[in-house]
Amino acid sequence: MAEAKREVSLVLAKLKEEATPEKIEEAITEYAKLVNVIPAMNSFHWGKDDSAKVNLHLHEGYTHIFESSFDNIEGVKEYEDHPDHAVFEKLLLSCTEKLLVITYQPTIVNLQK
């Protein structure tokens, strides 16, 4: 079965140690709200790094993962250029020590010949 094409934007963040739980929760909530105000943004998920639970230490210090999905790369552009994204970005950066942003089109490998 063919999957619908989509473009995923991944943000890996190392949050500042001094960022309070309230500030972190605010940043995540504001991030999630973008789904409602930016039409191109289809979904938003987040999670904390679980590497320690599997004894892996290849996470380069990143503590939080944010995943947004779009129909295509044009949607990611629309999102990046949206004024509400700029406002949110300031908030996220205020509690972030380092950030990695990468976008890709998730593709399944068809193993059948």
Among residues 18, 108, 112, 113, the one that binds a copy of itself under rule CB under 8 A? 108
Interface characters, 27-66, with a copy of itself (x: CB under 8 A): -xx-xxx--x------xxxxxxxxx-xx-x-xxx-x--x-
- Alpha-carbon distance of 68 to 88, in angstroms, equals 14
**HSE (side-chain half, CA atoms, 13 Å) at 106:** 12
- Alpha-carbon distance of 89 to 92, in angstroms, equals 5
Phi and psi, residue 78, nearest 5°: -60, -45
Please give the residue ranges that form the binding site for a copy of itself (CB under 8 A).
7-8, 10, 12, 28-29, 31-33, 36, 43-51, 53-54, 56, 58-60, 62, 65, 67, 73, 76-77, 80, 99-109, 111
